[in-house]
Amino acid sequence: MSALGGPAKTAGVQPPTGMGLVISIVLIIIAFALAYFLLQIAGLLAVVGITVGGILIGFGVHFVPVGGAPAAMGQSPGIATGVPMLASGAGLAGLFAGAWAAPLGLPIALASGAIGGGLLMAITCTMVNIIYIFGMGIPAASGKVDKDPITGDTFPEYKTQGTEGHGLPFISWVGGVIGGALGGLGGTLIYLEFLDIYQAQMPALLSATGEQIAPIAISLAGVFAIGMFLVNAVLVAYNIGGTIEGPHDPKFKRAPRAIIASAVASAIAGVFAIGLLELVGVF
Amino acid sequence: MAMQMNPILAIVLGSALAVFVQGVYATTAYLGRTASLAKFEQPVYIDILKSMTTVTMAHAFVAVFATVTMCHLIISALGHPFPLPLLGLIWGIALGAAGSATGNPFYGKERQYQHQKFGAGVPISASGNIVRYAEAGERNSLDNGFFSAKLGGPASGICFGLIVFFELWRTVIFEPLAAGWGAIIIGVVAILIFAIIDRYIEVWARKTFGPYVVPGATEEVSS
């Protein structure tokens, strides 16, 4: 326990504290009330959608197997890069695909965003395994579990002594794809909510037609969606604390805390993003 | 494009600007790291500053030019709604994710230069136990870059190329099918194919390399 009296640092479960829960709920209610005050029911629905998108991103990042520098040296399992880098890469590829499919309707845009993120992670994880196996000669071995929950492969006999495991087991591959898909889904949902709000608000505000406003609305929505993505990815990176192996890692049980934090951050940032136009109108 | 300039010329000018940013980053990263960790008494190699910085800058020009050209083509030829800077940000971060994920491991544990057995990880106690293979008996960043470029660079490029290809191909060709769901079905099929490839090479590695064995007496002699 730290000198400031924070929660005890344990490797696995770190549940949210009571005080944190209360403050989070109050902040979310304030954000929702502000949204209703600014744009009535449309604003409230948009902020709820943005919050759900943020939760999806925050939860999805926990699935992505990130090993950091030790993974690059063959000393721990996972993908050898940082949490925000990989998670935002996958989510933004999803956003790219989702925004492209946006004119085809909400379900197709959301599915396309999810597949876009999942596809990036599928290709990246496969190439990482190719490099691990053919370039470095490292077979997959998890350090956190003895048996792959999906394929049933056993790991202890393959694990090199003096490492925390190495390579990218199949469960981590599946986790990466799920994480990328959830990130792409959340990012696309946030983008579509912003786009709806901006397309409804801007023509009256700038006294122009909807077609003239479309490029600005799309750019603004895209910029804010990327911003929301980075907020959530970095937030969750702190919760994970460097490395995670995927859904089988004990650290995965920390997810509830990150989900609450993502919800609060998304709701507040979302209110500021949709309230921006109101401010422009006031001045 | 806002200045009514030829897009190719504009991309070249933008890449030329990015080259100087990369040069500043490369110089400050190298000098800053050595200076801030002065307690390790690492020397600053003027060789690296003189030869490596320019190579890094040239490489940045190629990378930025290729990425921005691709983003420009995605907008002008394929009609993506996002403006160029936003697309550049998206694909730049995706390129960073793919390149960092694929390229880093090869840089960290290169088989030819490690004392460790092929078919196993690197114990933490053996971290940095790399054969000094260069001419004068010591290797600097120039040699590291050289051997990383052999497999890590092309593999990162293939990874990013596959991502861009599959994202665009499934959308451009299959989006008209099944009222838009065609692109999603093809995406799921592609993910499943990559799952099969990944599982196949994972099983291949387990069979070929076999379980971990503690290094025997013969290897200890050779190291």
Residues in Cβ contact with A92 at an 8 Å cutoff, skipping those fewer than 6 apart = A187, A226, A229, B89, B90, B93, B94
DSSP three-state, residue A242: coil
Owner of token pair 């940082």? A82
Give the pLDDT confidence score for residue B145 in this predicted structure: 63
Higher pLDDT, B5 or A223: A223
Asked whether the beta carbons of A260 and A16 are under 8 A apart, the reply is yes
Of A75, A127, A160, the CB nearest to B158: A127
Greatest mean pLDDT range, A127-141, B125-139, B196-210: B196-210
**Mean pLDDT over the full length of chain B:** 80
Burial class (CB within 10 angstroms; exposed 0-12, middle 13-18, buried 19+) of A139: buried
* Residues belonging to chain A: 283
Nearest to A177 among B126, B191, B205 (CB): B191
Q: Which residues of B touch A127 (CB under 8 A)?
A: 98, 101-102, 155-156, 158-159, 162
ipTM: 0.86
Residue of A nearest to B75 (CA): A100
User: A163 vs B151: CB contact, 8 Å cut-off?
Assistant: no
DSSP type of residue A131 = I
Nearest residue, CB atoms, A123 vs list B86, B123, B166: B166
pLDDT for res B188: 93
Ramachandran angles phi, psi of B64, nearest 5°: -65, -45
For residues B107 and A231, the model is more confident at A231
Interchain CB distance below 8 Å, B195 and A122: yes
Q: What secondary structure letter does DSSP report for B44?
A: P
- Residue type at A172? S
Spell out which residues of chain A touch residue B163, defining contact as CB-CB under 8 Å: 93, 119-120, 123-124
Alpha carbons within 13 angstroms on the beta-carbon side of residue A163 total 34
pLDDT in tens, B39-55: 777 778 887 788 878 88
- The region of weakest confidence among A88-92, A96-100, B2-6 is B2-6
Confidence of residue A174 (pLDDT cuts 50, 70, 90): very high
pTM as predicted: 0.85
Question: Would you place residue A56 in the very low, low, confident or very high pLDDT band (cuts 50, 70, 90)?
Answer: very high
Tokens of A252: 């995965």
Q: Choose, out of A66, A108, A115, the residue to mutate when testing the contact with B (most B CBs < 10 Å).
A: A115
Dihedral sign (CA A252, A256, A260, A263): positive
How many angstroms away from the CA of B23 is the closest CA of chain A? 22
Looking at the DSSP bridge assignments, the partners of residue A154 are: A147
* Residues ≥6 apart with Cβ < 8 Å to A5: none
Question: Measured between CA atoms, how close is A257 to chain B, in angstroms?
Answer: 26
CB contact under 8 A, A116 and B167: yes
Residue with token string 């926990």:
A62
CB pairs under 8 A between A and B: 259
Contacts of A277 (CB under 8 A, 6+ apart): A197, A198, A201, A202, A205
**pLDDT surpassing 50 at residue A112:** yes
Stretch B108-132: mean pLDDT: 62
Q: Which of A82-96, B136-150, B202-216 has the lowest mean pLDDT?
A: B136-150
Residue spans per domain, chain B:
1-81, 86-172, 175-211
pLDDT of residue B6: 85
Distance, CA of A247 to CA of B53 (rounded, Å): 41
**Spatial separation of the C-alpha atoms in residues B60 and B211, rounded to whole Å:** 42
Residue A246: the pLDDT is: 84
Q: What's residue B223's pLDDT?
A: 42
